[in-house]
Amino acid sequence: MVEVRERREPHGTRVPLTELEQSAFCTTEPLVVKPLEEEFKAGVRWQKLPIAYMRMDSTTLRERVGAARRKLGKRAVILGHHYQREDIIAFADFRGDSFKLSQLAAQQADAEFIIFCGVHFMAETAFVLARPGQQVVLPNLQAGCSMSDMAPTGDVEDCWDDLQRVLGPGGVLPVAYMNCTAALKALCGRNGGIICTSSSADKAVRWAYERTPRVVFFPDQHLGRNTGLKLGLSLEDMVVWNPFKPMGGNTPEQLRNAKLILWKGHCSVHTRFTVGQIRQARETYPSINIMVHPECINEVVKAADHVGSTEGIVRTIAAAPAGSVWGVGTEINLVSRIAKENPDKTVFCLDPIVCPCATMYRIHPAYLAWVLEELVEGRVVNSISVDDETGRYARIALQRMLQVG
């Protein structure tokens, strides 16, 4: 498991270091792959590597990754999440969002090794869905996720126990966004709940309301809030559960009156986007289309023209007419790739500061070269696994999501 250290703020809230590290790679210049030894200067946690890999330049790393990839052949499948650097995507057999990639990996009958170039919860999901005997490798064990880290297992279990005491059996069901630990997915599976993606959140929450009067939504309050409003709930129907306050900062009466209980978590990337950025983009390009991810705050979602998942953003802009202008509120590596693949359109990130996902960005090509070359030598490093019970219940919650569609 990834070690998640935290800092305690004066008011008592524990802030995951993955959240505090988000600005480490922010720059006003284009992102360029440097030798890992130089990138280590960024104020984040890195997994240590042999010094030879630390000093390799991008050309050498491309050659080493390519050579190892050819030697492994179909024994290994490389998955590249949309938010990865171009130097990683270049070697990916598949690219996409986390759940799509996990499904694709499990379909590769010849693959002994799944190298997931993403973050820890994604590798866990891939393991849960993998075929027997397949091994999952995460190139850098320090590639976590701030949103996932905001919902530690103990805090989530305490929340669930409190809700059961106040609301009673059947009084609430858990719905968890894909961006969470296998343990949280298992809690959903064990307690009649369901998992969702950003594109299926409305279907999953609607499914839950067919079975219960209340839903507790983990771990992203903004996706939960935007989904609730989309389904016709009002803000008065919702409360936020702050895990650092007794009863989440709510009274029993507030919990009983609520229809949607939102865990106090968020995405460090998508909360950077603001209504002011949208206003500036519209002033610069009067005919612009604003497209944002549903992990953005509600004010940004309301100010946008389109809202979509990572896959939805890719598809929407690809299908747009030539000459159209798009201001996009999502991770910069994805936006840059969309712009490159749609040269007949103007596509740019709403945030003028170049800020990649600081945890995804830790999948440096040096780590990919290292894990592949270790596999060539018959050594599996950075293996990710989930215990049988957790995997079984997490799979149940994921299967419910698939059944809902």
Phi-psi region of 114 (alpha: psi -120 to 50; beta: other; left: phi over 0): beta
Phi-psi region of 260 (alpha: psi -120 to 50; beta: other; left: phi over 0): beta
Distance CA 371, CA 137 (A): 8
What one-character-per-residue DSSP string does 279-308 give? HHHHHH-TT-EEEE-TTS-HHHHHH-SEE-
Cα–chain center distance at 12: 26
State the pLDDT at residue 245: 96
State the pLDDT at residue 362: 93
Question: Which residues make Cβ contacts (< 8 Å) with residue 94, sequence separation at least 6?
Answer: 77, 78, 79, 80, 100, 101, 104, 105
Per-residue pLDDT of the chain (405 residues; tens, 9 = 90+): 444 444 343 344 466 777 878 887 887 677 788 899 999 988 888 999 999 999 999 999 999 999 999 999 999 999 999 999 999 999 999 998 888 888 888 888 889 999 999 999 999 999 999 999 999 999 999 999 999 999 999 999 999 999 999 999 999 999 999 999 999 999 999 999 999 999 999 999 999 999 999 999 999 999 999 999 999 999 999 999 999 999 999 999 999 999 999 999 999 999 999 999 999 999 999 999 999 999 999 999 999 999 999 999 999 999 999 999 999 999 999 999 999 999 999 999 999 887 888 899 999 999 999 999 999 999 999 999 999 999 999 999 999 999 997
Distance CA 147, CA 264 (A): 10
State the pLDDT at residue 354: 78
Closest CA to 264 of 355, 147, 157: 147
pTM of the full structure: 0.93
Question: Which residues make Cβ contacts (< 8 Å) with residue 291, sequence separation at least 6?
Answer: 304, 305, 306, 307, 308, 313, 316, 317, 326, 327, 328, 329
Beta bridge partners of 348: 327
360 touches 119 (CB < 8 A): yes
Q: Is 17 helix (H, G, I), strand (E, B) or coil?
A: helix
State the pLDDT at residue 15: 63
State the pLDDT at residue 9: 39
- Alpha carbon separation from 388 to 143, 313, 352, 393 (Å, rounded): 23, 35, 45, 9
What one-character-per-residue DSSP string does 194-226 give? EEE-TTTHHHHHHHHHTT-S-EEEES-HHHHHH
Q: Give the position of tokens 């507030």.
A: 254
- Both tokens of 20, joined, read 């505090």
- Both tokens of 183, joined, read 């343990």
Q: Is 64 helix (H, G, I), strand (E, B) or coil?
A: helix
Beta bridge partners of 79: 94, 116
State the pLDDT at residue 14: 60
Written as one letter, the residue type at 71 is K
Distance CA 78, CA 36 (A): 20
Distance CA 162, CA 182 (A): 21
Give 3-11 contacts, CB < 8 A, sequence gap 24+.
4/144, 4/149, 4/152, 5/45
- Alpha carbon separation from 369 to 1, 68, 87, 127, 355 (Å, rounded): 22, 7, 11, 21, 25
